[in-house]
């Protein structure tokens, strides 16, 4: 479990929150604190007060993969293959193991044809896929995705949903503006004005949001 207690940081004010294993989507109005919560859970930021534990360990002691909302902010290296290999090389993984892992994950994300390309030559959507491959290369226990799906079409979102589910990550935390994506999650958290208003299964949370714009269109108008 991921447990948060007495969290105070920027706009966030969370007394207690438990996030189970699986895919959890964060939804809510812009500026409500969704990205801030992702940054805290990933260890990028540290709360002013309170505690976050991931299976009993603080975030900075947990292997984490991160994909930023803005594609260019994910980039560390000039070539696609080097970008995907970054986390493995930082851990001093053997060269043959790194090369095999890079090829495997690139093929899984369907970007094997991009490995020899320069990052500056590829599209924004392709940069997101490279960032996802780089985040998955080290087989993280926690995968954090900040609105990465906003750069992908529906077909690719569906494909990446399968990739994410098969990644082996114990926890996937993602922020999304797409309620169809949110509806496919195992767990849903609705944040408003820095506080968790609803938390539970999509059925439970969306029932409480049925009169709002957050209710999935496919649920409102089933085919």
φ and ψ of 141, to 5 deg: -75, -30
Angle at 23 between CA 29 and CA 83, to 5 degrees: 90
pLDDT band, very low/low/confident/very high, at 124 (cuts 50, 70, 90): confident
Cα–Cα distance for residue pair 142/42, rounded to 1 Å: 8
pTM of structure: 0.89
Structure tokens at 190: 């609705």
Residue 222 has pLDDT above 70, yes or no: no
Residues 6+ apart with CB under 8 A from 100: none
Strands 12-19 and 171-175: unpaired
Residue 223 has pLDDT above 70, yes or no: no
What mean pLDDT comes out for the span 13-36?
A: 96
Q: Which listed CATH number (3.40.50.300, 3.40.640.10, 1.20.1070.10, 3.40.50.1820) goes with 1-62+171-211?
A: 3.40.50.300
What is the predicted pLDDT for the residue at 62? 94
DSSP string, 112-150: GGGTTSBGGGS-HHHHHHHHHHHHHHT--SEEEEESGGG
Q: What percent of the chain has pLDDT over 90?
A: 61
Task: Give the SS3 label for residue 206.
Answer: helix
What mean pLDDT comes out for the span 172-190?
A: 94
Cα–Cα distance for residue pair 10/37, rounded to 1 Å: 10
115, 102 Cβ separation under 8 angstroms: yes
Average pLDDT for the chain: 91
Cα–Cα distance for residue pair 129/131, rounded to 1 Å: 5
Count of beta carbons in the 10 Å neighbourhood of residue 168: 10
Cα–Cα distance for residue pair 56/63, rounded to 1 Å: 13
Q: What is the pLDDT of residues 68-116, one digit of tens each?
A: 888 777 788 889 999 999 888 888 888 888 888 889 989 988 899 999 9
What mean pLDDT comes out for the span 48-52?
A: 95
What mean pLDDT comes out for the span 128-149?
A: 91
What is the predicted pLDDT for the residue at 221? 73
Q: How is residue 29 annotated by DSSP? A: S
Give CATH 3.40.50.300 domain extents, the chain: 1-62+171-211
What is the predicted pLDDT for the residue at 8? 96
Which position has the higher pLDDT, 123 or 189? Answer: 189
191, 183 Cβ separation under 8 angstroms: no
What mean pLDDT comes out for the span 46-73?
A: 92
Q: Please, is 70 exposed, middle or buried when counting C-beta atoms within 10 Å of its C-beta (0-12, 13-18, 19+)?
A: middle
41, 54 Cβ separation under 8 angstroms: yes
pLDDT band, very low/low/confident/very high, at 189 (cuts 50, 70, 90): very high
Q: What is the pLDDT of residues 8-24, one digit of tens each?
A: 999 999 999 999 999 99
Which position has the higher pLDDT, 159 or 34? Answer: 34
């Amino acid at each position: 479990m991921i447990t948060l207690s007495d969290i105070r940081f920027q706009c966030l004010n969370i007394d207690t929150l438990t996030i189970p294993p699986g895919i959890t989507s964060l939804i809510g109005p812009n500026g409500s604190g969704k990205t801030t919560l992702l940054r805290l859970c990933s260890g990028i930021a540290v709360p002013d007060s309170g505690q976050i534990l991931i299976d009993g360990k603080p975030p900075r002691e947990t292997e984490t993969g991160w994909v930023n909302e803005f594609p260019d902010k994910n980039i560390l290296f000039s070539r696609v293959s080097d970008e995907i290999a970054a986390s493995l090389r930082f851990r001093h993984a053997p060269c043959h193991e790194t090369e095999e892992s890079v090829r495997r994950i690139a093929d899984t994300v369907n970007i094997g044809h991009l490995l020899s390309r320069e990052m500056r030559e590829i599209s924004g959507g392709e940069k997101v896929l490279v960032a996802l491959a780089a985040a998955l290369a080290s087989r993280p226990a926690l995968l954090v995705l900040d609105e990465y799906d906003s750069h992908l079409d529906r077909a690719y979102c569906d494909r990446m949903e399968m990739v994410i589910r098969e990644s082996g990550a114990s926890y996937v935390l993602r922020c999304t503006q797409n309620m169809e994506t949110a509806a496919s999650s195992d767990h849903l958290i609705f944040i408003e004005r820095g506080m968790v208003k609803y938390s539970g299964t999509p059925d439970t949370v969306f029932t409480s949001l049925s009169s709002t714009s957050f209710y999935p269109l496919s649920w409102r108008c089933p085919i």
